[in-house]
Amino acid sequence: MNLTDKVAIVTGASSGIGAEFARMLTQKQAYVYGFARRVDRMDKLKEEIGDRFVSVFCDVRDEKSVESAVNEVVKRSGRIDVLINNAGLGKYGPVDKLSIEDWDVQIETNLRGVFLCTRAVVPIMKEQNAATGFGGHIINIASIAGLIGNPTLFAYNASKFGVRGFSEAVMKEVRDHGIKVTCIYPGSIETEFSSMSGSAAPAHAMTPSDIGETVLHVLETRDNYLISEVVMRPLRPKG
């Protein structure tokens, strides 16, 4: 896909790799709609990267909020070429101690949010495919934790294993409609995730730009083939 003037949605765009995706996509001359609850942070990001970025309030856990946000994008731009389902969080805790609230917020954000956003954009991409022969590209940001279980991170594991299964199933469902689905499994990244999840920051993590460059590569592949999964790891995680 040539990203010039394409329309992309990035969820969780207020910080971390979501903000980096927005920066890198606008540098490629795409129009980016950032979805997040922290609109103030996205407004500061807009000051940094310019008018090709638009901040839109969206709680990906809420069906009406997602529908409203996606409708705003279509109303303003008339199409959606890229969806990057990036919003997510993790919380550590023993299985007999983690609160129901901490379980629910991870499943609702990391998995339900991916479903709601995908559900909202697929009909639009199907119409685009009928008109042009190519519908669009959905990228789901999972995690190495969607491939390997981790003690005390079971809720996050469950959500990201779910994203893996969802991505594979939907990829097979929509590929004949000219819609690509790719699932990315990053290892440790230098973001706010560690402090928010209550874990120690990794010593040799990848950077948000490492993930962003890979996502751009996947998006810029020719329309006739699909990269369905990418696993990314730090080369020397322990130094």
Scored b (16 or more CB within 10 A) or e, 31-61 reads bbbbbbbebebbeebbeebeebbbbbebbbb
DSSP state of 12: T
CA 128 centroid distance within chain: 21
Amino acid present at 81: D
Between helix 113-132 and helix 63-77 the angle, nearest 10°, is 30
Known catalytic residue at 225 = no
- The alpha carbon of 77 is separated from its chain's Cα centroid by a whole number of angstroms, namely 20
Query: Hey, CA dihedral for 23, 25, 30, 34, is it positive or negative?
Result: negative
The amino acid sitting at 18 is G
Phi, psi angles (nearest 5°) of residue 221: -65, 155
Which of 31, 33, 156, 185 is catalytic? The answer is 156
Which residues are designated catalytic?
156
